[in-house]
Amino acid sequence: MGDSRTGPEVGMGREHHRPRRILVTGGAGFIGSHLVRLLLQSLPEAQVINLDLLTYAGDLGRLDDLSHLAGTPRLTHVQGDICDGERVRALLGEGEGVDTVMHLAAESHVDRSIAGPAVFIQTNITGTFTLLEACREAWTGRGDVRFHHVSTDEVRGELLPGEPPFTEASPYAPNSPYAASKASSDHLVRAYHRTYGLPTVISSCSNNYGPHQHDEKFIPTVIRACLEGKPIPIYGDGMNVRDWIHVEDHCRALLAIVQGGRTGSDYLVGARDERGNLEVVETICRLMDEERPQAAPHRRLIRFVDDRPGHDLRYAVDPSRAEAELGWTPRIPFPEGIRRLIRHAVRGADR
């Protein structure tokens, strides 16, 4: 986030923010639902308000195990649009008032952004602006508040083979409408910190995987194809590289950042586990062979398809700042996490 411009916090030790009443946007989404669960488990005195429009990507069923808390002071579900300023302002001011916003609501699928970018501009840019404005109004004069904006590694564009991973100082160079909309929202958050003194932090994470991810994403698509014996589509030659992190590790990082991150700072979150798309598919196929040997070899299902426009070759981030300042490190290695995910998927399909 450009430490030369972040004000007097730079160079200071870890800050301490104690979230008490948390507004999570997009809490019925893949990452958001895991975050809501972690917040309730880790902060026993905190109250969580989940604001989610419940579009195709949002599903309260992801939080069925917390149904006993829904409607209690600990967990409130609100179906609503982050672009609805009146609704957002009302939520911020209810009761004792929200002191923490963790903003995850976003349109996030690159292919969808290529086919129809308008909704990405509306949700990711206008929605973030609406939240920032509401917080600026509600939090004037308060010092116990924090706005945590959750972004993506894609805002910094692509890396070539052999180039060092992105750091917080790497320039922005988004290459898809999705990445550009997230970059724009990052800049708005930065501007509200710099101009208005809004206490903000930004985190940008590498590719997530784990339970309850939407079917349109890469790893769920591959697993579903294996289960159904259908072709596994791989863009181009399958050599595009991503750094994969388990969603539970990402959410632990989000909690550490919102509690201890320096306001005005940017944190990169990743697992230092780069894998080519073809390698990921072959790993899944090998594990599916073990779980369902009668359908082996699953690798026979692989089909190379035309690459998508502007497909970035490689993403990788250096999470050293988060590790050094917050004491966070990922715990779930990719082989363990993906094996666990596949076993869960096979059990579910066999019921």
Query: What are the catalytic residues?
Result: 153-154, 178
C-alpha distances out from residue 233 to 50, 141, 278, 294, Å: 35, 53, 10, 22
Residue 115's CB: how many other CB atoms inside 10 A?
9
- How many Cα atoms sit within 13 Å of 19 on the Cβ side? 30
Cα 70 to Cα 244: distance, rounded to the nearest angstrom = 32
CA atoms within 13 A on the CB side of 198: 27
What does the block give as tokens for 203? Answer: 């985190």
The span from the CA of 292 to the CA of 289, in Å, is: 5
* CA separation, residue 75 to residues 23, 104, 127, 190, 194 (Å): 10, 17, 23, 29, 32
Residues facing residue 166 across a β-bridge: 317
Other Cβ atoms less than 10 A from the Cβ of 2: the count is: 13
Letter string b/e over residues 192-203, b meaning 16 or more CB atoms within 10 A of that residue's CB? bbbeeebbbbbb
Q: What are the residues whose beta carbons fall under 8 Å from the beta carbon of 136, sequence distance 6 or more? A: 192, 196, 198
For 195, residues 6+ apart whose C-beta sits below 8 A from its C-beta are none
